[in-house]
Amino acid sequence: MKLPIPAEGQFRAPAHHERVTSKIGLALAITFTTCFVTGLLSHLIQHPPGWFSWPSRPVGLYRVTQGLHVIAGVASIPLLLAKLWSVYPKLFGRPLVRSLPHALERLSILVLSGAAFFELTTGLLNVAQNYPWGFYFPQVHYAVAWLAIGSILVHVAVKLPIIRRALSRTTVEEPPAKGLSRRGFLMTTGLAAGVAVVATAGATVPFLRGVSGLSWKTGKGTQGLPVNRTAAAAGVTWSPAWRLSVVTPRGTTTFSLDELRALPQTTAELPIACVEGWSQSAIWRGISLPTLLKAVGAAPGTALRVSSSERGGLYGVSVLPGEHTADELTLLALELNGEVLAPDHGFPCRIIAPNRPGVLQTKWVTKLEAL
Ligand SMILES: Nc1nc2c(c(=O)[nH]1)N[C@H]1C(S)=C(S)[C@@H](COP(=O)(O)O)O[C@H]1N2
Ligand SMILES: [Mo]
């Protein structure tokens, strides 16, 4: 039996109108651009090329950019589904290929949909802390982002005449049709995007914490702060023989925990802003990096390599650039929310610096080396 293939002209539901497609497309262009710019920024902070430097202030800027990254990504999911719904009758356009430009356009849409779909699913699984794949998420998510943004640019350029036409007309005669009106479809799409955001944004927006049923991290956690990797999972243990070594061109200085406690202490309220989209502020207390550098006779603003006692993990080592080691608020923290750091939060000491991705806030620090 042959399945009847509907002709393109047979789809008369208002949701398939080019004005609907264009409006949702515009919203998607905004959310995807937001994702791209904030994602690129996050990538540059974590893998800084020579020309790039990232300031240590304002303290919570990265918290905002990464929060936006995940919120815009979550909002994109219903938008993308609505957009695909709106345009799918075009898939039935025959002949499949009319000309070379037409073939290229179809191919670019295939790449665009594939890349967009890939970014949203991998991103969502990442914030849900599920890693059901064999590749290294950040690298692949980053590479495909270029594919997505590139094909969006091509797509917008090709469709510009249609987008202009569809969005410029103020009143369009709405054909009598069954089902949701155009406005109804757009409102439903907007509502779905809003619900998705509210249900998850509490992971980073404090006043939404109570409302976000699906937010992946809550304020509950050891010492009032979520834990990303526990001491047990990282395989770290501590013994009184533990020492911190600080290596500078002038030699190596070691500190016992008691010696660190005897140095002048600084208190700061700083957020952990995880690349996975959750963030939370806490009160930290410890030795500020300018104080520590002074104690070992190193120049202010010396960049440092930070190593932890964790073996084999991906996040056991980080680099603190000069902008951060010169900032009074960058701490080698010994306390969190008024208590000695719990093992899961990095006991005996961890880095907490203003305006940085959580993944660079190294726990269980054992060595600092001047670069
Ligand atoms: N040594 C080490 N430090 C680490 C990690 C890690 O896996 N190993 N995870 C990082 C990540 S991804 C985050 S978000 C923060 C979370 O800190 P918390 O568990 O104290 O909230 O720690 C960072 N520091
Ligand atoms: Mo993280």
Determine which residue's CA is closest to atom 15 belonging to ligand 1: 358
Query: Nearest bound ligand to CA 333?
Result: 1
Closest by CA to 276, choosing from 200, 196, 219, 353, is: 200
Average confidence (pLDDT) over 266-282: 94
Tell me: do 203 and 229 sit in the same domain: no
Structural domain includes residue 66: yes
pLDDT at 9 (0 to 100): 65
> Whose CA is closest to atom 9 on ligand 1?
359
Q: Give Dmax (Cα) for the chain.
A: 84
Q: Which pLDDT band, with edges at 50, 70 and 90, does 312 fall under?
A: confident
Closest-CA residue, ligand 1 atom 10, reads 359
For ligand 2, the distance from its centroid to the CA atom of residue 316, given in whole angstroms, is 12
Long-range pairs of 105-113 with CB within 8 A, sequence gap ≥ 24 = 105/158, 108/151, 108/154, 108/155, 108/158, 109/151, 109/155, 111/147, 111/151, 112/148, 112/151, 112/152, 112/154, 112/155, 113/84
**170 and 248 both lie in a single domain:** no
Find how far residue 32's CA is from the centre of its chain. 13
Residue partners of 231: CB distance under 8 A and separation at least 6: 237, 343, 344, 347, 364
Banded pLDDT at 4 (limits 50, 70, 90):
low
Residue 82 has pLDDT above 60, yes or no: yes
Same domain, 199 and 234: no
Q: Tell me: do 158 and 184 sit in the same domain.
A: yes
Ligand 1 pocket (Cβ < 6 Å) reads 225-229, 234, 272, 274, 308, 310, 313, 315-316, 345-346, 358-359, 361-364
- Residue 292 inside a domain? The answer is yes
- Point out the ligand 1 atom lying closest to the alpha carbon of residue 276: 14
Spacing of C-alpha 287 from chain mean position: 29
Residue 171 confidence class, pLDDT cut points 50, 70, 90? low
User: 175 and 71, same structural domain?
Assistant: yes
Contact present, 18 and 162 (Cβ < 8 Å):
yes
Q: Are residues 270 and 307 in the same domain?
A: yes
Q: Residue 232 sits in which domain range?
A: 224-370
362 CA → ligand 1 middle, Å: 6
* 32-41, 158-167, 189-198, 199-208: range with lowest mean pLDDT: 199-208
Residue of the CA atom closest to atom 11 of ligand 1: 359
| Residue 221 pLDDT | 84
For residue 269 the two structure tokens come to 């309220």
Between residues 3 and 97, which one has the greater pLDDT? 97
Whether 3 is in a domain gets the answer no
Cα separations in angstroms, 31 against 23, 37, 73, 338: 13, 10, 7, 39
Average pLDDT over residues 205-219: 72
CA 208 to ligand 1 center in whole angstroms: 24
Q: What is the mean pLDDT of residues 82-96?
A: 88
Cα gap 352→284, rounded to integer Å = 8
* pLDDT, mean of residues 24-42: 97
The reply to whether 119 falls in a domain is yes
Express each pLDDT in 125-139 by its tens digit: 888 776 667 778 899
109-121 per-position pLDDT tens digit: 999 999 999 999 9
Q: CB-based contacts of 170: which residues, under 8 Å, 6+ apart?
A: none
- Shared-domain flag, residues 176 and 276: no
Q: Which residues pair with 268 in a beta bridge?
A: 284
Rounded Cα distance, 217 and 277, in Å: 9
**For residue 9, how far is its CA from the centre of ligand 1 (angstroms)?**
55
Q: What CATH number is associated with residue 355?
A: 3.90.420.10
Which of 151, 173, 208 is the endpoint of a domain?
A: 208
Residue 213 covered by a domain: no
Quick one: average pLDDT of 329-352? 98
Tally of domains within the chain:
2
- Looking at the fold, whether 112 and 239 belong to one and the same domain comes out as no
| Final residue before a domain boundary, out of 183, 208, 233 | 208
Give the confidence band of 260 by pLDDT, cuts at 50, 70, 90.
very high
Domain boundary among 208, 240, 270: 208
Judge if 175 and 266 occupy the same domain: no
**175 and 121, same domain (yes or no):** yes
Share of the chain above pLDDT 70, in %: 92
Tell me what pLDDT residue 197 has. 94
Mean pLDDT for the chain? 91
Residue 173's pLDDT band (boundaries 50, 70, 90)? Answer: low
What is the 241 CA–ligand 2 centroid distance (Å)? 29
Can you tell me the mean pLDDT for 266-281? 94
Read off φ and ψ for residue 106, nearest 5 degrees: -60, -40
Question: What pLDDT shows up at residue 356?
Answer: 97
Q: What is the reported pLDDT for 2?
A: 58
Is 65 domain-assigned? yes
Please tell me whether residues 230 and 347 are part of one structural domain. yes
Rounded Cα gap, residues 31 and 152, in angstroms: 12
pLDDT for position 90 = 84
88 alpha carbon – ligand 2 mean position (Å)? 38
336 Cα nearest atom in ligand 1: 20
The pLDDT value given to residue 174:
59
The residue whose CA has the least distance to atom 24 of ligand 1 is: 362
**217 belongs to a structural domain:** no
Q: Is the pLDDT of residue 66 over 90?
A: yes
pLDDT over threshold 60, residue 185: yes
Q: Are residues 187 and 267 in the same domain?
A: no
Structural tokens at position 273: 């802003």
Residue 21: its pLDDT value, please?
94
**214 lies in a domain?**
no
The alpha carbon dihedral of 201, 206, 207, 212 has a sign of: positive
